[in-house]
A and B are shown apart, each in its own frame.
Chain A
Amino acid sequence: MPFFKKSIILLIFLGIYSEGNAQRIIPDEKIIDYSCEQKTLRNVLFDLSELSGVTLAWQDQIIPSDSLVDLSVRNERLGKVLDYLIEAHKLKYKIVGNQLSIVRNQLSDAEDRISFSGYVLDGQSGEALIDAHLYTFDNSEIAFTNNFGFYSLTLPKGTQRIYISYLGFEREIIELQLKKDTTVNISLQPSNYLREIVISELKIKPLVHKENELVSVSNMSLDRIKRTLPLAGEPDVIRAALTSAGVSSGADGFGGISVRGGSENQNLILFDGIPVYGAQHAFGLFSIFNSDVIKSANLYKGTIPAHYSGRLSSILDIRTREGNFKELHANVGVGLFTAKASIEGPIIKDKASFLVSARRTFVDPWIGSATEALNRRIDKEGRTNFYFYDLNAKLNFSLGKNSKIYFSYYNGSDQFDSDVTTRSEDGDFRFLDRDEVNWNTGNTLASVRWNWRLSHKMFVNASIYSSDYKFSTFDHDRLEIRDKLQSNILSSIYEAGMYQSRIQDIGNRLEFDYIPNARQHIKFGAAYVKHIFSPSLLLVDQSDSLTLFDTPILESDLQKQIQSPDLASEEYEFFISDEFKWGPYTRLNLGYNHLYVKAKNTEYHIPQPRILFSTGSENYTFKASWGRAGQFLHSLVNTGLGVPIEVWLPSTDKLAPERSWMVSTGHFFKTQNLGLIGIEFFLKEMQNLTRYGNEELIDISENSNWESQIPIGEGRAYGMEVTFNKGHGKTNFNLAYTLSWSDRQFDQINNGDRFRFRFDRRHILHASVVHKLNPNLDFAINWQYASGTPVTMPSGARYFEYSENGSDPTLVLVYEGINNALLPDYHRLDFGFNFRNNYSWGNSVFTIGLYNVYNRQNAFYREVVVDLTDPIGPIRFEDVTLLPVLPTLSYKLSF
C-alpha cells in the first residue's frame, strides 16, 4: 500500500483513537467567563450561547422580559450559570443532543421522589467497586458505594443525570428517566490514561474522595498502595498507611504503628471484616497482606464511626478483591525476597468467581547454606533459616439479583530457626555447646459473608468468621561433656523453654444499611465474638528428666507438656448511627456503639457515643468530631526468650478495659491553583493503659496473679495535621505533615512523672511525587522526615553499689528519666521506576529503584557500651541502624 494511503489510514485511526479516548464534553459543562450589568435575561442568554458556542433554545413566552440581570462569573460551568439565572423563574434546562433547551420546571413536589439502587462494578472484571462516588451535577445528592459496591439514591421524578466516578476509571454519566423505584447497575471502564495517577485538572468536577467526607479517614486505593515505593519490590498497605498524616512508627516501620499518639496495640486491622492480631511478617519488614488481593483500604484515625469498635486509636479496614467475573487471569511476580502468583476467574460468568493468591520468600536456601558456611569458618556447626508465606483464597457467588455470598480464607506464617553447635576440647574432655532457637508465628482467617439487598433502601450483610493468631518460640541451650577417647557422654546439662501465645476469635455480625430518604443514612447492627486466649510458658532443665541423659530435648517434647490457662471472654456489640444531610455540604452523623464484655468473674459495659459533623461549600469543608472508645483487649510484650512476643490478654476483674475520648476539627480547601489542602487538629486522652512493662517474662497461668505485674496508666496526645495534594498534567504531588505531642503517666514507672511516649515524634513529613513520562514509564520519588524517636539515656554519672559484705561492686549507671533524649532525626529518600509493557497475551511491569538512596544511617535504637575492664572510663553510645540503602526490584507478569 502506498505510503500516502497508509498515512491517511493511520491518521484516521489516530483521530478515532484520540476521539474515543478524549474526555466527552457535555454542553452544559463548558467553562465560561462572563459579566454584565442590568441586561435582560433574554439578552444574557443570547450572550451565553454565543460565548460558549452551545445552542440555547427556548420559547419566548417562558422567559420574563422584565427580568434584569447583574452577573459576573469567572471560570464557571455554563450549566451552573443557567441554573442561577432561570431557577428563580421556575425554569430548568434539558440537554437535547449537543444543545440546551430551557423549559418550565414541572417538578414542584419535593415528595415526588424515586429511589433507585444497584451496584457499581468494574466493567472489565465485574468486581464491585468500594467507595465509588455517585452525584448529581450540583452535588445536591451524593452517595458512595458501600463495602460491597452497593449504593442507593433518592431523586426527584423525571429525567436525572448521574455522574459516577472512581479513581483509575473513566467517569460515567448516565441519564435516567425516573418514574418508579428501580435497579440500576453501573459498570465503569478502567482508564489506561488515568491509571496509577490522579489527574485533577478535570474541568467538570474534581474527583471527590471518601476522605473529604465526615471522618478523619485516609483512603488507600490500590493505586496509592503501589505508588508508595515498595520495600524490596513488595508494595505494602501498612507502609502506605505510614505515609498518612498522623501516623508514626519506629525506624523503617519496625515496632508497630502509632496513630495520633496511640499505642501500637490500639489499632484494629480488619481483613474483609475479620480482626487480625499479628499483621506482620519479618518483625514488621512486610505486612501479611498481599497487595495483589487488596481492593481498598481505609484508615480511620479520628473519631471512629459507630459501626466500628474494639480499639482506641484507629481502624484499618482492608477489603479484598473478589476475582474476575468475566475472564480467567493470572499474575506471577518476583521481588528481591519474595515470589508470588495468583489466579482468578469466573466459575459461572458474571455470577460466580474465584481468586487464589500465594506469596513466599525464596531466599531461605541461600540463608541456610550461607550461614552454614560462615559458621564453619568460625569453627561452629549449624545453620539459620527463615522464610514466610501467605495464601489467600476467595469464592464468590451471586444468588439472584439481590444476594451474594462470599467465602474468604487466609493462612500465613513466619518460621525462623537457628541451630548452632560449638565444639571444643580441654585435656581428656570434649565439650559440645549447642544453642537452638525456633520461633514461628502465623494467622489463619476464615469467613463466610452473605449480603442481601432487601429493598432499594435497605441492604443487609451477615457474616461469621474465625481468626486464629499463634506465636510460639522454643529456646534450647545444651552443654555436653564427653570423654575424648571414647566419645561417650559423661555429663549433660540443658535449659529449654517454650513460650506460646495464641488468640482465637469466633464471631458473627449482622449489619444493616437503611437509606430511608435522600437526607438520611442509617446504619445499625449487632455482633458477637468469643475470644479464647492461650498464653503458656514452660521452662525445663535436666533435673526434670523429660528425656534420657544422652538424648537432646526436642520442641515436640515440650509441646506435649505445655499447658495453657483457660482465659476466655465474650463480647457483645450493638451499634446504630444516623447520618443527616442538609444540602450538598452539611452532614451530621450521630452514632452510638455499646460494648458489653463478659470475662471470668466480671463484666463491663462500654458506652461509646460518636458525633461527626461537616459543613462548608464546594471549595471548603469544615469538620468536627467527638467520640469515646473502649478496648477490653490488652497486649503485652514479653522478650524473655530473646525475641519480642506479643501476648493478647482480656480484661479481668483486676484489669479494667482501656478507654479514650477524642475530639478533632479540620478545615479543607479545594483550590484551582494549589489543589487540595487540609488542616486538622486533634486531642485524645486515654485511661487504663496497660501496654508497658519492663519484665522480661510474665507467668500468665491460672492463679499466677499476673495482673499485678502490669502497671496501669494514662496517656494523652494532641497535634495538627496538614495535607496537600496537587495534580498537574501527568504529575501528582502529595505532602503530609504532622506536628504532635504524646506522653504517658504510670504511678509505678518513672517515679510517677509523665514521660514522652516512644512514638512521640514531634515533626513528621512525607512528600511524594509521581510522574508519568509516557504510557509505559512512570517514576515516583518519596522523601520522609521525622524527628528522632525518644530514647532513654544515662546522665553520665555512675557509682558503685556494694554487696552486704562490701565486696563485688556493681557499676550503676544513673538513668534519671524515661525517654529523656532523642535519637537523631530520621530522613530517607526513595525512588523507583515502573516500566510497563503490553502484549497481545497480557502485560508486564518491571520496577526498579532504591530505598534509602543516600544511605542515611537512621538509628533504630541506641546501645550503651561500658568497658567492664575500665568501668569508670567514658560511657560510649552506639546507634544501631536497621536498613541501609537497599535496591528495589520486582517483575510482574499478568495474563
Chain B
Amino acid sequence: MPIKVLFLLFIVALFNSCIKEYTPEDWDDSFSIVVSGEIETELPGQVIRIHTTINNAGEQANLPEDLLVEVFEENNPVSKKLTAVSDNESFWQMPGDFSFHEGETYFLKISPAQNIIPQVKSEVTAPRPGSLIAESAFVSEGETKIEIDLTLEKSPNFKSYYHINVYLIDAEGNSDELEITDFRKLYNGAEILTQRNGILIDYDKLPEDKHLSFYANILNSLDIELLKGSFLHLNLKTVTEDYYLYHKSLSQLTESNSNPFLLPTTTFTNISNGYGLFALHSTVIDSIVIE
C-alpha cells in the first residue's frame, strides 16, 4: 500500500478515534400528552389527535380511560366536549354542530380524572383568511417541474402567516397533491417544509414585493403536454403564529441541532404541560390553469 495512503489512513484512524459515545446519567422517563390538532374554521365535526410521548426506553403510555377533552369559547363557561372516535382512541371528535369561527378565541382543556398526567391547556384565536393577488403556472418542455408564481396579500389579522399547498386536478376532477421542491431563488420569510408538504410563510419577513416563485414536482416529462390546460389548486391556508412557529421549529430541528455553527432550535409547543400543537386555520383555494 503506498506510503501516502498509509499515512492518510493513519491520520483518518487517529481522527476517527475522536468520536466517543456519550450516555446521559439520567433521563426523564415521565410521559406527557401530545396534541395534534390543526382545525379548519367554519367546518363542523373535525378531529384532533391526542397521544403521549415516547420515552427513551421506547415506552408509550396509554391515555387514561376517563380523559376529559373540552373546548371553551371565550367568555362562555359551558364547554363543548369532544368524544373519542370509537375505533381509534387517539382521535377525538368535535360535536357535530360545532365549528370554530374566524376571529374568535377558544381554549382547549384536557383533564385526566386522576392525576397520572398533568392537565393540559391551550388557547387559540381563529385567523381571518388572507388572499393571493396574482398567480400563474407553466411548464417547460424537457422539465419535470411546474413553475408557479404568486403574490401574497396581507391578511386582516395583526400578523400574517400562511401555509401553501398545491394540488393538480385531473380531467376526472381528482385532486393530487404535488410536492413543492424548491424556490426559484432564496426568499427570506418563506421556507419549504421538510416534515410535510408545502411552503410556510411569515408575510412580514418576505421581500418587499411579496412575490414568490417556486417549483412543484410532476412525475415525468412525458406528462408535460397533457398538463397544459389542466387546473392547479393553490391552497392558501391562513395560519396562526403558533402554527408557524411550530412547523418552522420542526422543519429546522434536525438541521440546526446537529450543526455546531448554528443556534439550536427548541421544540415549539402551545400546549401547556404538554407538546404538539392546537391551532386553527382558514383556507382559501385559488384555481389557475397551467400554461
Interface size on A, residues (CB 8 A): 77
Report B252-279 CB contacts with A as 1/0, cut-off 8 Å: 1101111111111111100000011000
Say whether, besides A637-B261, A804-B38, A878-B21, A813 and B28 are in contact (CB < 8 Å): no
Q: What would be 22 A-B contacts, judged by CB atoms less than 8 Å apart?
A: A374-B5, A537-B186, A637-B261, A639-B262, A696-B255, A698-B188, A699-B187, A704-B188, A751-B268, A797-B28, A797-B55, A798-B54, A799-B275, A812-B253, A812-B275, A813-B267, A815-B264, A818-B266, A857-B18, A863-B258, A873-B58, A874-B56
How far, in Å, is A867 (CB) from chain B's closest CB? 11
B2 located at the interface, meaning its Cβ lies under 8 Å from any Cβ of chain A in the complex:
yes
Cross-chain contact B196 with A370 (CB below 8 angstroms): no
**Which chain B positions have C-beta within 8 A of A810?**
195-196, 250
**Which chain B positions have C-beta within 8 A of A377?**
5
Cross-chain contact A694 with B262 (CB below 8 angstroms): yes
Further pairs besides A708-B204, A797-B54, A815-B266: 20, Cβ < 8 Å: A637-B262, A644-B261, A696-B255, A696-B262, A704-B207, A706-B188, A751-B266, A751-B268, A793-B24, A796-B27, A797-B31, A798-B54, A803-B196, A810-B250, A813-B257, A814-B275, A859-B22, A860-B260, A862-B22, A879-B19
Report B16-32 CB contacts with A as 1/0, cut-off 8 Å: 01111111100111011
Cross-chain contact B253 with A874 (CB below 8 angstroms): no
- Out of A706, A798, A818, which one reaches B53, CB within 8 Å? A798
- Out of A373, A694, A812, A880, which one reaches B4, CB within 8 Å? A373
A884 located at the interface, meaning its Cβ lies under 8 Å from any Cβ of chain B in the complex:
yes
Cross-chain contact B20 with A879 (CB below 8 angstroms): yes
A361 located at the interface, meaning its Cβ lies under 8 Å from any Cβ of chain B in the complex:
no
How far, in Å, is A764 (CB) from chain B's closest CB? 20
- Out of B7, B52, B55, B189, which one reaches A370, CB within 8 Å? B7
- Could you tell me the distance between the alpha carbons of A639 and B255 in the complex, rounded to whole angstroms? 10
Cross-chain contact B197 with A803 (CB below 8 angstroms): yes
**Which chain A positions have C-beta within 8 A of B38?**
804
**Which chain A positions have C-beta within 8 A of B7?**
366, 370
Cross-chain contact B188 with A708 (CB below 8 angstroms): yes
Nearest A residue to B8 via CB reads A370
Cross-chain contact A816 with B263 (CB below 8 angstroms): no
Residues in B48-63 with C-beta less than 8 Å from chain A: 49, 51-58, 60
A819 located at the interface, meaning its Cβ lies under 8 Å from any Cβ of chain B in the complex:
yes
Cross-chain contact B140 with A796 (CB below 8 angstroms): no
- Could you tell me the distance between the alpha carbons of A750 and B186 in the complex, rounded to whole angstroms? 26
- Could you tell me the distance between the alpha carbons of A801 and B5 in the complex, rounded to whole angstroms? 46
- Could you tell me the distance between the alpha carbons of A170 and B40 in the complex, rounded to whole angstroms? 84
Cross-chain contact A881 with B208 (CB below 8 angstroms): no
- Could you tell me the distance between the alpha carbons of A369 and B31 in the complex, rounded to whole angstroms? 54
**Which chain A positions have C-beta within 8 A of B58?**
872-874
Report B137-166 CB contacts with A as 1/0, cut-off 8 Å: 000100101010000000000000000000
- Out of A255, A703, A860, which one reaches B209, CB within 8 Å? A703
B36 located at the interface, meaning its Cβ lies under 8 Å from any Cβ of chain A in the complex:
yes
B34 located at the interface, meaning its Cβ lies under 8 Å from any Cβ of chain A in the complex:
yes
Nearest A residue to B262 via CB reads A694
- Could you tell me the distance between the alpha carbons of A346 and B275 in the complex, rounded to whole angstroms? 73
B124 located at the interface, meaning its Cβ lies under 8 Å from any Cβ of chain A in the complex:
no
B228 located at the interface, meaning its Cβ lies under 8 Å from any Cβ of chain A in the complex:
no
Say whether, besides A705-B208, A810-B195, A878-B22, A796 and B55 are in contact (CB < 8 Å): yes
Nearest A residue to B52 via CB reads A799
**Which chain B positions have C-beta within 8 A of A751?**
266, 268
Cross-chain contact B264 with A792 (CB below 8 angstroms): yes
Cross-chain contact A705 with B189 (CB below 8 angstroms): yes
Nearest B residue to A871 via CB reads B54
Which of A637, A639, A792, A815 has the most B CB atoms < 10 Å from its CB? A815
How far, in Å, is A294 (CB) from chain B's closest CB? 29
A783 located at the interface, meaning its Cβ lies under 8 Å from any Cβ of chain B in the complex:
no
- Could you tell me the distance between the alpha carbons of A882 and B8 in the complex, rounded to whole angstroms? 16
- Could you tell me the distance between the alpha carbons of A810 and B194 in the complex, rounded to whole angstroms? 9
A687 located at the interface, meaning its Cβ lies under 8 Å from any Cβ of chain B in the complex:
no
B206 located at the interface, meaning its Cβ lies under 8 Å from any Cβ of chain A in the complex:
yes
Cross-chain contact A804 with B264 (CB below 8 angstroms): no
How far, in Å, is B83 (CB) from chain A's closest CB? 18
Cross-chain contact B250 with A815 (CB below 8 angstroms): no
**Which chain B positions have C-beta within 8 A of A255?**
260-261
Cross-chain contact A815 with B265 (CB below 8 angstroms): yes
**Which chain A positions have C-beta within 8 A of B182?**
541
**Which chain A positions have C-beta within 8 A of B22?**
824, 859, 862, 877-879
- Out of B28, B260, B268, which one reaches A795, CB within 8 Å? B28
- Could you tell me the distance between the alpha carbons of A794 and B23 in the complex, rounded to whole angstroms? 13
Say whether, besides A813-B267, A819-B264, A799 and B188 are in contact (CB < 8 Å): no
B80 located at the interface, meaning its Cβ lies under 8 Å from any Cβ of chain A in the complex:
no
A864 located at the interface, meaning its Cβ lies under 8 Å from any Cβ of chain B in the complex:
yes
A808 located at the interface, meaning its Cβ lies under 8 Å from any Cβ of chain B in the complex:
yes
B171 located at the interface, meaning its Cβ lies under 8 Å from any Cβ of chain A in the complex:
no
Report B176-213 CB contacts with A as 1/0, cut-off 8 Å: 00000010011111000001110000101111110000
How far, in Å, is A393 (CB) from chain B's closest CB? 34
- Could you tell me the distance between the alpha carbons of A539 and B187 in the complex, rounded to whole angstroms? 11
A81 located at the interface, meaning its Cβ lies under 8 Å from any Cβ of chain B in the complex:
no
- Out of B18, B196, B267, which one reaches A881, CB within 8 Å? B18
How far, in Å, is A889 (CB) from chain B's closest CB? 15
Identify the 9 closest CB pairs spanning chains A and B, nearest first. Answer: A881-B18, A792-B264, A861-B260, A370-B8, A796-B56, A810-B195, A796-B27, A644-B261, A708-B205
Nearest A residue to B7 via CB reads A370
Cross-chain contact A801 with B53 (CB below 8 angstroms): no
Nearest B residue to A369 via CB reads B4
B78 located at the interface, meaning its Cβ lies under 8 Å from any Cβ of chain A in the complex:
no
Cross-chain contact A796 with B20 (CB below 8 angstroms): no
Which of A644, A799, A802 has the most B CB atoms < 10 Å from its CB? A799
**Which chain A positions have C-beta within 8 A of B250?**
801, 810, 812
- Out of B28, B145, B195, which one reaches A796, CB within 8 Å? B28
How far, in Å, is A750 (CB) from chain B's closest CB? 6
- Out of B4, B51, B206, which one reaches A366, CB within 8 Å? B4
How far, in Å, is B268 (CB) from chain A's closest CB? 8
**Which chain B positions have C-beta within 8 A of A366?**
4, 7
B14 located at the interface, meaning its Cβ lies under 8 Å from any Cβ of chain A in the complex:
yes
**Which chain B positions have C-beta within 8 A of A800?**
51
Cross-chain contact A708 with B189 (CB below 8 angstroms): yes
- Could you tell me the distance between the alpha carbons of A813 and B54 in the complex, rounded to whole angstroms? 10
How far, in Å, is B238 (CB) from chain A's closest CB? 15
**Which chain B positions have C-beta within 8 A of A864?**
257-258
- Could you tell me the distance between the alpha carbons of A130 and B5 in the complex, rounded to whole angstroms? 49
Cross-chain contact A709 with B188 (CB below 8 angstroms): yes
- Could you tell me the distance between the alpha carbons of A703 and B185 in the complex, rounded to whole angstroms? 14
**Which chain B positions have C-beta within 8 A of A704?**
188, 207
**Which chain A positions have C-beta within 8 A of B206?**
705
Residues in A774-831 with C-beta less than 8 Å from chain B: 792-804, 808, 810, 812-819, 821, 824
**Which chain A positions have C-beta within 8 A of B205?**
705, 708-709
- Could you tell me the distance between the alpha carbons of A250 and B29 in the complex, rounded to whole angstroms? 32
A731 located at the interface, meaning its Cβ lies under 8 Å from any Cβ of chain B in the complex:
no
Cross-chain contact B267 with A874 (CB below 8 angstroms): no
**Which chain A positions have C-beta within 8 A of B196?**
803-804, 808, 810
